[in-house]
Amino acid sequence: MKNLKFLFIAFLVTSCGTVVNYDYEKSTDFSSYKNYNYFDDMETGLSELDTKRLKRAIDGKLKTMGLTRSDTPDFYIDIQSQQVVSRNNSSVGVGLGGGGGGGFGGVSVGIPVGQNKQSREIVIDFVDENKIGLFWQAVSESNYNPNSSPEKREAVFAKLVEKVFTEYPPQKN
């Protein structure tokens, strides 16, 4: 019974985490990219302050990876996001039935349980405008609450960026 509780808690912790999918151009020489910048006209879908928080988190992570933000970049970063609402299909059914005299009848009602799940999908693109265009992309979906405190949002972005860049540069097989 103790192991069952542990497994349930582990499932809850992992199911609430960030999901990240990656894609990249196989012919890319990732070692040739040392300098980056952001597109000037990005429409991130986030507030201006949250955009700054996310960019700070990305800058910090890329700096630890040896990349430098520059006015003459090798590639540009584009960030887009949108709110994703997953419909909750959980319900409780209440049934009523009867019979007598050879006839049967019934009524059933589904009562929704819980609320729709809201998350944020953030897409980070690396684009080389001079050579091959889009060469790396990460699509993440995580719990993001725009009404939480600035400190909590900053922590969410820091964790998201850590997870997003675990697969950059991709290991070619």
Domain chopping of the chain, boundaries: 17-167
Three-state secondary structure string covering the chain: CHHHHHHHHHHHHHHCCCEEEEEECCCCCHHHCCEEEECCCCCCCCCHHHHHHHHHHHHHHHHHCCCEECCCCCEEEEEEEEEEEECCCCEEEEEEEEEECCEEEEEEEEEECCCCEEEEEEEEEEEECCCCEEEEEEEEEECCCCCCCHHHHHHHHHHHHHHHHHHCCCCCC
Question: According to the model, what pLDDT value does residue 87 have?
Answer: 58
pLDDT at 170: 92
> What pTM was computed for the model?
0.73
Q: What mean pLDDT do residues 71-94 have?
A: 80
* Higher pLDDT, residue 1 or 99: 99
Q: Which residue has the higher pLDDT, 7 or 129?
A: 129
Q: What is the pLDDT at residue 13?
A: 38
Tens digit of each residue's pLDDT (9 = 90 or more) over 121-135: 999 999 999 988 999
Fold of 17-167: Double Stranded RNA Binding Domain (3.30.160)
